[in-house]
Chain A
Amino acid sequence: MMKSDRFETIVLPHLDAAYNLARWLVHDPHQAEDIVQEACVRAFRFLDQLRGNHARPWLLGIVRNACIDHLRERRAEQFLPDMDEDYVDTGQYGVEAHTPESLLLQKCSTTQVDTAIAALPAAYREVIVLREIEEMSYELIAEVAGVPIGTVMSRLSRARGMLRAALLPLVREN
């Protein structure tokens, strides 16, 4: 199979996921587009090094690293706020947040949900997008983000807690 055919068949199907991740990480649509295009060119050049059927985490990993580089270069935001990695889940969000399950689902709009996700630190946006929107496994997320699975799980837990804390007051206002 020609290299370009192989790329089309195994890598290009993940373009939407790649762009979605870049949009959520860098926010700006044009920057996201540029980053994904460059990442795809890079992926194409290194296509021979792709083993097995790991094209999805492989491509997303390249995109993700380019996005983090971009954020760091712009000093736009801290990837992971200081101290956050030491966070111990005390259930401070969860317990208080034991709302009737349907309340958030009934009341939250797309705009509210999007705004709350966008306000998360990049390290948390990343795991939320990969897990909840792209529905990837912890193992694959760990591969994309280059961190242990345990870190993925604790970041996810923290991120969900932060989203709940951000969204609940909006729901209760109504």
Chain B
Amino acid sequence: MDRQYDSDISELIATRASRHAAPAALRNAVRRATAAPAHPPSRVTAWLGLEWLRLSAAFAVGVLVALLVPATWHAVPDATIANELVDSHVRSLQLAHLSDVVSTDHHTVKPWFAGKLDYSPPVHDLAPQGFPLAGGRLDVLHGRTIAALVYKRRQHVINVFVVPRGADTPPADTRLSRNGFHVQSWSDGSNSFWAVSDLNAEELGQFVTLQQQQGD
């Protein structure tokens, strides 16, 4: 296909066209973003049994010293998870990569995850209640690939992160806000669910209640 008479064009481009090198600022930004994480591991890491032993001591000291409150043991890791999921939520909006599978049909979205995950996230159609399903994608929490379901409320996006629970995992039950985003979590027998959105807390609460009423 590289016909003879194309060789001059090839050489012309190879020798003459501009090659744009990555600016130093970009290289530095990428290095910062991918540097070893400074924050303590969350409970999810513990489920995976990674780095937990190594960092748990530092983590415990950090909790006791830095917070100076007899916080319940679960509250802090939940906050850490919430922080990371808020970041994921924001990135999902920035990346123009909200959904890998775009569909309002839960019969399309649910099977899409089969074969991509070792668990099956429950997917509900809440369009009649004003929370239409918009799609789903794969996301990552502490090195584990998880399902993120995307719902909408008017112009607001709600990400629901579905994290499988281990046998000894306490149920998630968190309501907090970070940087203007609300986070609410709940659990059923198999999974913990984390809903993240800039939607107001009241309507997000309605959404969570509806989700809980659906069952699997």
Question: Which residues from chain A sit less than 8 Å from chain B, CB to CB?
Answer: 2-4, 7-8, 12, 15-16, 18-20, 23-24, 29, 32-33, 36-38, 40-42, 44-46, 48-49, 66, 69-70, 73, 94, 97-99, 101-102, 104-105, 108-110, 113-114, 117, 128, 131-133, 135, 153-154, 156-157, 160, 163-164, 167
Task: Say how far B88's CB is from chain A's closest CB, in angstroms.
Answer: 9
Taken together as a complex, chains A and B put the C-alpha atoms of A57 and B9 apart, in Å, by 24
Taken together as a complex, chains A and B put the C-alpha atoms of A147 and B31 apart, in Å, by 31
Question: Once the chains bind, are B36 and A66 in contact (CB under 8 Å)?
Answer: no
Question: Once the chains bind, are B30 and A37 in contact (CB under 8 Å)?
Answer: yes
Task: Say how far A64's CB is from chain B's closest CB, in angstroms.
Answer: 13
Q: Closest chain A residue to B7 by CB distance?
A: A101
A sample of 27 inter-chain contacts (CB < 8 A) reads A15-B22, A15-B26, A15-B27, A16-B21, A16-B22, A19-B23, A20-B19, A32-B20, A40-B34, A42-B91, A42-B97, A44-B33, A49-B145, A66-B96, A94-B3, A94-B5, A104-B8, A104-B12, A105-B8, A113-B12, A113-B13, A117-B13, A132-B14, A133-B13, A133-B17, A160-B9, A163-B13
**Contact partner of B17 among A2, A8, A114, A157, CB < 8 A?**
A114
Taken together as a complex, chains A and B put the C-alpha atoms of A164 and B35 apart, in Å, by 45
**Contact partner of B6 among A20, A24, A38, A160, CB < 8 A?**
A160
Question: Once the chains bind, are A157 and B95 in contact (CB under 8 Å)?
Answer: no
Task: Say how far A120's CB is from chain B's closest CB, in angstroms.
Answer: 11
Q: Is B18 an interface residue (CB 8 A)?
A: yes
**Contact partner of B96 among A18, A37, A70, A110, CB < 8 A?**
A70
Question: Once the chains bind, are A19 and B20 in contact (CB under 8 Å)?
Answer: yes
Q: Which residues of B contact A40 (CB under 8 A)?
A: 30, 33-34
**Contact partner of A38 among B18, B27, B94, CB < 8 A?**
B94
Contact (A41, B91) CB under 8 Å given A18-B22, A117-B17: yes
Q: Which residues of A contact B97 (CB under 8 A)?
A: 42, 66, 69
Question: Once the chains bind, are A37 and B7 in contact (CB under 8 Å)?
Answer: no
Question: Once the chains bind, are A45 and B140 in contact (CB under 8 Å)?
Answer: yes
Question: Once the chains bind, are B5 and A133 in contact (CB under 8 Å)?
Answer: no
Taken together as a complex, chains A and B put the C-alpha atoms of A13 and B151 apart, in Å, by 38
Q: Closest chain B residue to A154 by CB distance?
A: B1
